[in-house]
Amino acid sequence: MTVLVTGCAGFIGMHCARRLLERGEEVLGIDNLSPYTSVELKRDRLKQLEGAKGFSFERLDLADAGALDGVFARAKPASVLHLAAQPGVRYALENPASYIQANLVGFANVLEACRRHPPKHLLYASSSSVYGGNAKLPWAESDNADHPLSLYAATKKSNELMAHTYSHLFGMPTTCLRYFTVYGPWGRPDMSPILFAQAIMEGRPIQVFNHGDMQRDFTYIDDVVEATLGVLGKPATPNPEFDAAVPDPASSSAPWRIYNIGNHQPVGLLDYIAALERALGRKAVKELQPMQPGDVRSTFADTRLLADAVGFSPATPLEEGLARFADWFRRYHGFD
Q: Which residues contact 19 (CB under 8 A, 6 or more apart)?
A: 225, 229
Pairing of the two strands 267-268 and 215-216: antiparallel
Active site residue 152: yes
Strands (E), the chain: 2-6, 26-31, 55-59, 79-82, 121-127, 174-179, 182-183, 205-208, 215-216, 219-220, 256-261, 267-268, 285-288
State the DSSP code for 92: G
Task: Name the amino acid, one letter, at 275.
Answer: A
Q: How many residues are there in the chain?
A: 336
C-alpha of 6 from chain center: 12
Among 14, 29, 41, which residue's Cα sits nearest to residue 75?
Answer: 29
What gap in Å lies between CA 107 and CA 153, rounded to an integer?
Answer: 14
| Inter-axis angle of helices 318-333 and 192-202, nearest 10 | 60
CA distance 293 to 163: 28
What's the DSSP call for residue 242?
-
Q: For residue 179, give the nearest of 197, 202, 153 by alpha carbon.
A: 153
Percentage helix, strand, coil for the chain under 3-state DSSP, each rounded to 5: 45, 15, 40
- Catalytically annotated residue among 91, 124, 131, 152: 152
Q: Do 98 and 48 touch, CB atoms closer than 8 A?
A: no
Q: How far is CA 53 from each of CA 15, 49, 246, rounded to the nearest angstrom?
A: 16, 9, 48
Which residues pair with residue 259 across a beta bridge?
Answer: 177
CA distance 240 to 254: 10
Active site residue ranges = 152
